[in-house]
Structure 1
Amino acid sequence: MRWLALAIFLPGIVLANDTTFAETVDFVRDVRPILQKYCYECHAGDVRKSGLRLDVRSEAMKGGELYGESILAGKPEESPLLQFIADEDADLQMPPEGAAPTSTEIATLKRWIEQGAAWPDGVDEVKLTNPGDHWSFRPIERSVPPVVTRADWPRNPIDLFVLARLESKELSPSEDAPRRDWLRRVTFDLIGLPPTQQEWIEFRDDDREDAYQRVVDRLLDSPRYGERWAQHWLDVVRYADTHGFEVNTERPNAWPYRDYVIEALNQDVPYNQFIREQLAGDTLNADAATGFLVTASVLLPGQIGKDEASKRLARQDSIDEIVTNIGTSFLGMTIHCARCHNHKFDPISQRDYYEMQAFVSGVEYQDRKFEIPLGDMQRDQLQRWTQRQHELTMLLGRAAPLADSTSLRPMVNSYENIDRFTPVRTRQVRFQVKATNRYEPCIDELEVFNIEGVNVALAEHGTKLTASGSNVSPNRHELRLINDGNYGNSSSWMSNEVGGGWVAVEFAEPQLIEQVVWGRDRQGKFSDRLAMEYTIEVRDENGTWKSVADSTNRHPFDPQKNSHAPLDVNTIAEGEQSQIRKMLHEKEMLAKKLSQLDGSRSVFAGTFREPDEIRILGRGSPEMPKERVSPAVPDLLGTTILSNDAPEVQRRLALADWIVSENNPLTSRVMVNRIWQGHFGMGLVETSNDLGHNGVPPSHPELLDWLSAEFIQSGWSMKHMHRLIVLSSTYRQSSSFHPAAAEVDTDNRLLWRYPPQRLMGEVIRDSILSINENLNLEMGGPGFSLFDKRGGLSGFSPIESFEKDGLRRMIYSHRVRRERDPVFGAFDSPDYGQSTPRRRESTTSIQALNLFNSSFVLEQSRSLAERLKNQHADVPLQVEAVYQRVLLRPPTPQEQKEATTLVDQHGLDSLCRVLFNSNEFLFIR
């Protein structure tokens, strides 16, 4: 009876069948059979429920995750193992099902613990290996390149390592790829676009020894390089432009992080600095980089329950996402698997996990305002966008009625106003404010255009400024800002007189002017301080001020009808209305982009506060807190420990310093493996997000270590690693299939040929546009939409026809979590909900159907066909031109014959569709 089991805890009671009470219990003879019978099913080998393992002494004594040590020598009443077996009222009665231990067996276990729980050495069921003695945790050793028998093939040390492995299996590398194949391969790899016909001709005819090197240098210097390789990184860190979860609300200010990554890669920011900036960019003049910390899905305040338990759980989830990102992206480790229990495979304890949490426990997820210094890319964009906006202002101004016209004029607008008048020669223009809708008048930019369309009021033309008085604050509302070429409240002039004031510009020499353009805030954020009554005056040669325009020709300002349009389109000739509307729309879009490049803007990035108190949580539940922990790195990998009162920023800096330490063997291994994967389709380690025990061992461990050491020695230069790889003989091999080699190495892990790869979905789309010369190469800024909505629950209708912004590279699209692009998403694009370390390559019918029948491909096929028909009148020449454009080669005689027939019967656009669907176009060989 089970009640007899309780008798063993009562002094003085002797069990009738216990005739050897004083006899010493032997573990092998008496105890292990009991554990094998009742416990091993759930607590031995790879099955360790609740983290408890009872077939190995060290693990059994350590206990599981719920109650600490399971066996306390000499204290049976305090040993959880015995309590769970002997007490039928225990919280976790064991075993939960099946036959229960007999009273004799329970008594044996009790006596064994009383006698000191002796467990002799060498009698474990298995011998545990040291989990820390794993290849990825060992220090990096710069291996000496091996000696090979074939001296004519290697071009750099990479080839020595690869050739040595091939020779060990009696395999040989493939012959060099044809020049055309190599050029397509390296161009797609480095910039994600096809080479042009001119680039192919120049490379084909280049007989210099460094011809290949010149191509690689050109590609790495291209701004397209950052766009291509940023895609790989954004896949890993789960970047998207919506928040995810059920509501999937738009995250409109996430894009500065994407632009930061592109810019950093183009500038070849050292990888150790790249990591520091993403963890602590707010201290390193790279604030947008901290968008890394918050790239994952996140619950918004309205989606979190109002009770305290729900808030605690949501906060835990948000910190967990950060630790997950750091662990997988930088370290190639699944540290987050230790949230609820010790890691099942790697030597990461639950304590290690929560100590990692303590480094980032002061990070929040939300939009915030901050200053971002413009990089080269943003400065170039700013210049182009501003120039185009000035051009549109001048063109639109010519459509405005003259100041003395009786035609209907638009209302006074806080956004932008055009005052056009009969051309007049003058050297000075004065804007006189007589009344405002509120407070002191404010003007963000005063533009004066001459008859040649030049804004002669700009400071760069030597124009001088005077004013009645300015309401100045540092770097804001100063007089100099009224003609600096920048729009918005933060770059505006403000009078110091409530409801009035004046500002005047004086040109370096007399100008024949015809329009003045001005606005309160062309970023559309403010509508107060607007000039309601005003006069625009010019000074004649006698020094007399004469009015050329005023507010009487306009309707009064109406805040309910504050359109951004500076013109009333209905007053314009019907034949010109369509063109005017297009220009107005383009100008409004430019204004939005320019506002995003304002020095002060909203971004979804890390925000920082006093760190939370972090405790180990039982089963990962915030409702089961245990002891408090301090910021510390996993015991396996270092000794970085901070006190609990360490400031928030010090924590992130310490974490970054540890990650990029040369003593950390994971960081460089992980990144060079990602770079290798980007070129060969698979890394030297197949599981590029997991270099731990559950990952796949490297195919070339010595090569991986040599590359890792070279990466560090090069100053963590990613471009240096690209050069090494793509200029190697290993990379230059053809992709020809050799049956004999495949019998030995079916998966080509030894690299006896270059592995053919299908283009990513984004690259296919970008390449079609590039071939057609329709690709918009404008960089940066908010993404263009692929759907009719930018976030929400469901019902995303795809946009089928694109122009202007929609023809930019696909990395600049607005990414909606869980919604792939309807055409190119079929090519295994991620859904941005989880980290995607490597995109799989599937082959499905929907891919072919999309590429042959989608509106996008149909439009682009027609566009290419029209372009080539305008260049070539004869069908045979058109056919050859299509092949040269898409495949960089002329058609074979058989292809020429069949393609000509196809064009005669179905049109040139059908041939374009066929080639866009061809494997020769879609695969890198």
Structure 2
Amino acid sequence: MPRTTLPALLLLGACASSGRGAEPPKGAPPPAVEFARDVQPILAKHCVSCHGPDKQRGGLRLDRSADALKGGDSGKALVPGKPAESLLLKKLMIEDAQERMPPNRDPLTSEQIRVLTAWVEAGAKWPAVENAADKHWAFQPVKRSVVPEAPNTKTRNAIDAFVAAKLSASGLSLSPEADRRVLIRRLKFDLLGLPPTPEEVEAFVADKDANAYEKLVDKYLASPHYGERWARHWLDVVRFAESNGFETNQFRPNAWHYRDYVIKALNDDKPYDQFVKEQLAGDTLGADAATGFIVGGAWDEVKSPDLTLTLNQRADELHDMIGTTGSAFLGLTVACARCHAHKFDPISQLDYYRIKAVFAGVQHGERPVRTGDAVTRAKEADRLRAQLAELEAKVAALEPLADPAATDARRVPVNARLNTERFKPVRAKFVRFVTFETNSVEPCLDELEVFSFGSKPVNVALASNGAKATSSGDYPGSPNIHSLPFINDGKYGNGRSWISNKSGRGWVELELAEPVVIDRVAWARDREGKYTDRVPTRYRIDVSTDHESWVVVASSDDRAPFAEGASAVPNGLTATDRAAWVKLTQQITTLRKRIEELVRGQMAYAGRLMAPEVTHRLHRGDATQQKEVVGPGALGELGPKLTIPESATDAERRAALAKWITDPAHPLTARVMVNRLWQHHFGTGIVDTPSDFGRNGGKPTHPELLDWLASELVTPSGGEEPLPNPSPKRRGAEGKEDSAPPSFLGKGVGGLGSSNPWSLKHIHRLIVTSATYRQTSSANDAGLAKDAQTRLLWRYPPQRIEAEPLRDAVLFVSGKLDLKMGGPGFDLFEPNGNYVKVYTPKKQFGPAEFRRMVYQQKPRMQLDDTFGVFDCPDAGQIAPKRNVSITPLQALNLLNSEFMLQQAGYFAERITKDAGADPGAQVKRAFLLAFQRPPTDKELAAATKLVKEHGLTALCRAVLNANEFVFVD
């Protein structure tokens, strides 16, 4: 008997003994099995309905080789060369109809089983075409397209050749060039997000240089405001916000570092591949704040005592990191493979968990970051700490010491922000803080500090100095922000505090590294001053050297009772000492605030990085149903092959993934980014689903152009690739011909947009210097009839300004815009100290709120009261493309909101200052500032009448509400 048939006969023998009566074929060995002819029809008819793209019962998918060979929840379905170990074959021959595959249906015939068995024994090989990632256009390698022959003489660079060729095939052509007033307004809003000044407009209109427009492009690309404008687009893509979301939605005070990193990176024209690498592994590249990308999403800071819920919360955190990375850089919905293989794209469930393993060492939270002035900040903080110690010593000499035997309130009142207990020097190894009563629920301490006696006191309570903490019990439900390690970690605030597990009482004990003489204990409920609940109001502080004999050194018995806003001046001081105490404490408060600012300036919400957790594949994505351990990696069927050792550190895993994403051979990275740039220049991308290039996404309108741009981003031609038929003449910005050669790559006058690999400014310049971009926005019947949505770009599509540049433009024309860059942002909501953050919009606005809107402290799930209705994303999820809606609230907000009424008044003041009291001159100035053009005679007459009858503010209010102000042609 030939050896090749033995396993099949063994299996069929088992089948026969079970009563099914299947018999192996007799005679000569059957012909070799072919997958397409013999195997695939069996799988398609009997298996794929339950184990295919729509369903993956038991975690098994049998329509693709990678998934089939991976197996399902029960183990390996197919073991090439080993039919007896292949669970699929065993399942086909179970006697029980419910357990047998396919269940509750006629069993496979003996011949079908023989075919499958022979196929497995021969290696379970799938055709090469099936093993290829996919034939979908976006998964094919990027190939530099040949620039087509331009059908007319309007082309300025290769972009126009591709666009014109597509138009010609539809019987259309490019529209004439827009006039200079339209072009400068379009360009400045597009690149900088601001309107041009009347003086800028007139200078450009009057400039006779054939390269006047190109010079303007270079000027705007070199402006620091370019980064502010384009950072907003990227922040939408990566769901950036400055609060946690979920129920508490607490503010993230140091999230702004990531926003500033993005602005600077874009202004510096950081190569895009480096930009990607830094956001995934900036801690290894000297760009710590960049990893704010990874933890930029929502985070449920309140953990449940239910282990199941906590596991799911952690799984959700990592899910957000996986999904955002896939969509932002690859334009893929990788997150869809959490519970099963992707239903449309070649992304297996195993791929999802490989990427999850890459991020398994990243936790939400802050960490110190290296900034350009980090050393200077640290030195300044040390200098101020020395001053602070001197001042505190002077205050200590004035304050009465704690007297455990006293019962009269003669020291300062108990307060929420900081309490200093001074006592006679005593030797201690153990220090214990015991709470008997609070002003509400469980006691909370954000830090317990113990200072050594002497001229240079040291906080010996710090864990970093060897102290160990124990407690009566931790608050259930919030181990991430209210747990014991925070009691002596040297960081203040509610977000890093300890809460007892008992209402009104509890204790914390510190074991110092060695016995030491101490004379001071400091404690607070919340040194940031946000919360005043949970304050210990009756307490005692004990010390011991042996943990058996305890001595009371301070208590609440000789302090004034807790009261909001009570005077903190100690009782019993003389008038002179009282004045000295007040002055010293004011100086101390100022110093502490400055030191806190210096220290906080070195902290960024960029993730806490630690050893990676073990990653398991989860059955149907359920965090409680762990399957096999999965090591780090990337997508198995897309992009270059990537192998990451399971022993790789957290940083090594993220760096390897970043390198894989930015490999020039990757088919998606460059395509996705150039499409994003195109989208924001023309309103819609070449692919209209900018974060989904998969099979369920949109198809490119100009695939050859997309690939040409992607190739040009990675490997710019440097101007050596001529147009097939360069025009001997081109038309200038006013439509007049000039003899300058076509600016094929738009090489910058000042070196911008030059041939550096991965240069985003280079692609920007190519786009905005093209004839396609410089067209008029006027419609014509032929274009509307054949391409009403302007996807073929027979004209420049008019666009409404988004919320942020709209608000900036209002401030710009009113003369109130503060162009200060960087640093902590401004808040458009009233301050409050609630544990659950309440966002109440401000009704009054001043200079603090007059910065560019990219610097707003953007909360999650809460929009600005005036401009949020202009389709601002709430950062609850990624927003690669904003909606453009038209609603009554938009008109009402622009007309009646407190902000707009205030700015209309400021606008009128500016016009009066610029143009004087003459209504006609005022109207002309208003039009130039808002619309970058003078009024027509009809407009001048009507507007002058309005000013005379209702005042200049009424005109300004009307101008700021005009469509012409809100739209860019």
821-830 vs 868-877, which deviates more?
A: 868-877
Paired residue for 1:555?
A: 579
- Of 646, 649, 652, the residue aligned with 1:650 is 652
- Of 864, 869, 885, the residue aligned with 1:821 is 864
SS of 2:868's equivalent? helix
- Of 923, 943, 947, the residue aligned with 1:903 is 947
Matches within 5 A, 1:349-498: 349-374=348-373, 436-437=394-395
- Kindly indicate whether the alpha-carbon contact (under 8 Å) linking 1:50 and 1:341 is maintained by their aligned counterparts in 2: no
1:808, CA displacement in angstroms? Answer: 0.6
Partner deviation per Cα, 1:604-649 (whole Å, 9 max, x = no partner): 1122111222222221223332332332222221222121112222
1:44, CA displacement in angstroms? Answer: 6.3
1:370, CA displacement in angstroms? Answer: 3.4
Paired residue for 1:920?
A: 964
CA distance in 1, matches of 2:673, 2:48: 41
Paired residue for 2:814?
A: 772
The aligned amino acid for 2:943 is: A
CA distance in 2, matches of 1:844, 1:434: 59
In structure 2, the CA distance between the partners of 1:186 and 1:529, relative to structure 1 (3 Å rule), is: farther
State whether structure 2 residue 284 is matched by structure 1 residue 240: no
Matches within 5 A, 1:252-271: 252-271=253-272
The aligned amino acid for 2:685 is: G
Paired residue for 2:446?
A: none
CA distance in 2, matches of 1:202, 1:208: 11
CA distance in 2, matches of 1:760, 1:645: 47
- Of 881, 889, 892, the residue aligned with 2:933 is 889
- Of 769, 789, 792, the residue aligned with 1:727 is 769
Paired residue for 2:281?
A: 280
Partner deviation per Cα, 1:317-356 (whole Å, 9 max, x = no partner): 2222222222111111122221221111111112222222
Paired residue for 2:801?
A: 759
Partner deviation per Cα, 1:582-604 (whole Å, 9 max, x = no partner): xxxxxx8x997996466853221
1:773, CA displacement in angstroms? Answer: 0.8
In structure 2, the CA distance between the partners of 1:268 and 1:67, relative to structure 1 (3 Å rule), is: same
1:765, CA displacement in angstroms? Answer: 0.6
CA distance in 1, matches of 2:940, 2:596: 52
In structure 2, the CA distance between the partners of 1:357 and 1:63, relative to structure 1 (3 Å rule), is: closer
1:524, CA displacement in angstroms? Answer: 12
TM, length-normalised to structure 2: 0.68
Partner deviation per Cα, 1:143-183 (whole Å, 9 max, x = no partner): 22111231x21111111111111112221111101111111
CA distance in 2, matches of 1:335, 1:644: 21
- Kindly indicate whether the alpha-carbon contact (under 8 Å) linking 2:355 and 2:633 is maintained by their aligned counterparts in 1: yes
Paired residue for 1:79?
A: 88
Instruction: Tell me the percent identity.
Output: 41
The aligned amino acid for 1:233 is: W
Partner deviation per Cα, 1:547-590 (whole Å, 9 max, x = no partner): xxxx959713369x955799xxxxxxxxxxxxxxxxxxxxx8x9
CA distance in 2, matches of 1:878, 1:29: 83
SS of 2:264's equivalent? helix
In structure 2, the CA distance between the partners of 1:859 and 1:621, relative to structure 1 (3 Å rule), is: same
Partner deviation per Cα, 1:49-98 (whole Å, 9 max, x = no partner): 667667x69699659744456689976995389569963664x9976xxx
CA distance in 2, matches of 1:224, 1:604: 24
- Of 710, 713, 729, the residue aligned with 1:711 is 713
CA distance in 1, matches of 2:93, 2:863: 51
- Of 895, 906, 916, the residue aligned with 1:852 is 895
1:438, CA displacement in angstroms? Answer: 5.5
- Kindly indicate whether the alpha-carbon contact (under 8 Å) linking 2:39 and 2:115 is maintained by their aligned counterparts in 1: no
- Kindly indicate whether the alpha-carbon contact (under 8 Å) linking 1:183 and 1:200 is maintained by their aligned counterparts in 2: yes
TM, length-normalised to structure 1: 0.71
Paired residue for 2:343?
A: 344
SS of 1:294's equivalent? coil
The aligned amino acid for 1:892 is: T
1:758, CA displacement in angstroms? Answer: 0.5
The aligned amino acid for 1:760 is: E
The aligned amino acid for 1:436 is: K
In structure 2, the CA distance between the partners of 1:414 and 1:641, relative to structure 1 (3 Å rule), is: closer
CA distance in 1, matches of 2:263, 2:43: 58
- Kindly indicate whether the alpha-carbon contact (under 8 Å) linking 1:281 and 1:289 is maintained by their aligned counterparts in 2: yes
- Of 654, 658, 661, the residue aligned with 1:659 is 661
CA distance in 2, matches of 1:257, 1:29: 56
In structure 2, the CA distance between the partners of 1:745 and 1:49, relative to structure 1 (3 Å rule), is: farther
- Kindly indicate whether the alpha-carbon contact (under 8 Å) linking 2:51 and 2:60 is maintained by their aligned counterparts in 1: yes
Unaligned residue ranges in structure 2 (runs of 5+): 1-11, 398-452, 458-490, 494-519, 523-574, 716-755
1:218, CA displacement in angstroms? Answer: 1.4
CA distance in 1, matches of 2:75, 2:268: 51
SS of 1:288's equivalent? helix
In structure 2, the CA distance between the partners of 1:208 and 1:67, relative to structure 1 (3 Å rule), is: same
SS of 1:627's equivalent? strand
Paired residue for 2:623?
A: 622
CA distance in 1, matches of 2:900, 2:779: 32
Partner deviation per Cα, 1:83-115 (whole Å, 9 max, x = no partner): 69963664x9976xxxx53xxx23x44674266
CA distance in 1, matches of 2:334, 2:13: 43
CA distance in 1, matches of 2:226, 2:767: 15
Matches within 5 A, 1:110-259: 112-113=112-113, 116=116, 130-150=132-152, 152-259=153-260
The aligned amino acid for 1:168 is: A
SS of 1:801's equivalent? coil
- Kindly indicate whether the alpha-carbon contact (under 8 Å) linking 2:701 and 2:791 is maintained by their aligned counterparts in 1: yes
1:134, CA displacement in angstroms? Answer: 2.6
Paired residue for 1:641?
A: 643
In structure 2, the CA distance between the partners of 1:321 and 1:141, relative to structure 1 (3 Å rule), is: same
CA distance in 2, matches of 1:868, 1:900: 13
In structure 2, the CA distance between the partners of 1:246 and 1:12, relative to structure 1 (3 Å rule), is: same
- Kindly indicate whether the alpha-carbon contact (under 8 Å) linking 1:226 and 1:261 is maintained by their aligned counterparts in 2: yes
CA distance in 2, matches of 1:738, 1:671: 32
CA distance in 2, matches of 1:563, 1:280: 43
Partner deviation per Cα, 1:488-537 (whole Å, 9 max, x = no partner): xxxxxxx99569xxxxxxxxxxxxxxxxxxxxxxx999xx999xxxxxxx
- Kindly indicate whether the alpha-carbon contact (under 8 Å) linking 1:52 and 1:59 is maintained by their aligned counterparts in 2: no
In structure 2, the CA distance between the partners of 1:11 and 1:358, relative to structure 1 (3 Å rule), is: same
Unaligned residue ranges in structure 1 (runs of 5+): 1-6, 387-412, 418-430, 440-494, 500-522, 531-550, 567-587
Aligned residues: 733
